[in-house]
């Protein structure tokens, strides 16, 4: 049950709102579509272009370079990178996200529906990406993801991981966030446990005549935690930057961790 509504009934409610002709979708597909719509304005093309410019500068990447985008979502950043001459393979286990990514795919982009833990990477790449808080499943699973990223890189390749600067953010924690779409309003109520590093979120989707609720949790990492995990995963050098590419500071809003497969950073 979700907020007093059975899952089949929930799918029937959501299908016309989400542009589906029927409700023959899995539970995960329904919530993936809701998430994409709720975050669409936040993950704008302009933000994707700024992210691509930053990635290109700090990786650094030149035309013809290759990138593996873990958790690529609807592909906005991958397509922005490709417009600069970079070849990108985007991987996401969400079929909903991959369908949308392929619909607008740049010719230099390939989008794969897969769990990256089990996807065979046949060609090493110049850069691996975990962008926009992709890594948040818990230390054991996230450490394995970092090891996969390390194995995917060329000898002098780099991994970039972007998330909130949690060393700063937990001091100004947002307990409530709200996102409004044409079809529904999403209100998220958050709580954070500093002992475990877990954030718990209660979602409330308010439609015209229905309210649907869901709860999930994510692991939040500080820079020292992520740095130590990268070193355990086999990276040789790690540093911290902010959303502008400058050195990470107490005032930085976002954290961009840069980990080098070789022994030196750019």
Asked if residues 107 and 82 have their Cβ atoms less than 8 Å apart, the reply is yes
pLDDT in tens, 45-69: 788 999 999 999 999 999 999 999 9
Supply 133's token pair. 């808080």
What angle separates helix 7-17 from helix 27-39, to the nearest 10 degrees? Answer: 40
Q: Mean pLDDT throughout 231-243?
A: 97
Q: pTM for the whole thing?
A: 0.85
Give dist(CA 93, CA 174) in Å, integer.
28
DSSP of 181-224? -SS-EEEEEEEEETTTTEEEEEEEEE-SS-EEEEEEEEE---HH
Give dist(CA 255, CA 44) in Å, integer.
19
Give dist(CA 113, CA 118) in Å, integer.
11
pLDDT in tens, 180-209: 888 889 899 999 898 899 999 998 888 887
Give dist(CA 221, CA 138) in Å, integer.
9
Angle at 183 between CA 17 and CA 162, to 5 degrees: 100
Residue in the structure block whose two tokens are 């046949």: 122
| Residue 37, pLDDT score | 72
Asked if residues 194 and 221 have their Cβ atoms less than 8 Å apart, the reply is no
> Which domains are assigned to the chain?
45-165+222-260 (3.40.50.150)
* Confidence bin at 5 (pLDDT 50/70/90): very low
């Amino acid at each position: 049950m979700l907020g007093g509504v059975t899952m089949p009934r929930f799918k029937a409610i959501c299908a016309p709102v989400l542009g589906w002709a029927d409700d023959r979708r899995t539970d995960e597909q329904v919530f993936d579509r809701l998430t994409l719509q709720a975050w669409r304005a936040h993950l704008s093309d302009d933000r994707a272009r700024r992210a691509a410019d930053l990635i290109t500068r700090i990786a650094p990447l030149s035309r013809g370079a290759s990138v593996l985008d873990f958790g690529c979502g609807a592909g906005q950043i991958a397509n922005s990178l490709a417009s600069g001459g970079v070849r990108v393979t985007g991987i996401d286990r969400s079929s909903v996200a991959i369908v949308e990514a392929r619909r607008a795919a740049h010719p230099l982009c390939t989008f794969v529906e897969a769990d990256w833990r089990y996807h065979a990477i046949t060609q090493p790449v110049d850069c691996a990406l975990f962008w926009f808080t992709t890594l948040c499943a818990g230390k054991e699973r996230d450490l394995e993801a970092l090891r996969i990223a390390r194995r995917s890189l060329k000898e002098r390749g780099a991994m970039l991981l972007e998330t909130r600067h949690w060393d700063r953010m937990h001091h100004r924690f947002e307990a409530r966030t709200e996102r409004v779409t044409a079809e529904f309003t999403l209100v998220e109520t958050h709580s954070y446990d500093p002992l475990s590093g877990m954030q718990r979120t209660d979602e409330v989707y308010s439609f015209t005549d229905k309210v649907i609720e869901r709860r999930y949790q994510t692991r939040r990492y500080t820079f020292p935690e992520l740095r130590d995990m990268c070193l355990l995963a086999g990276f040789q050098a790690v540093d911290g930057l902010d959303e502008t590419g400058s050195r990470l500071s107490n005032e930085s809003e976002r954290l961009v961790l840069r980990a080098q497969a070789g022994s030196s950073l750019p």
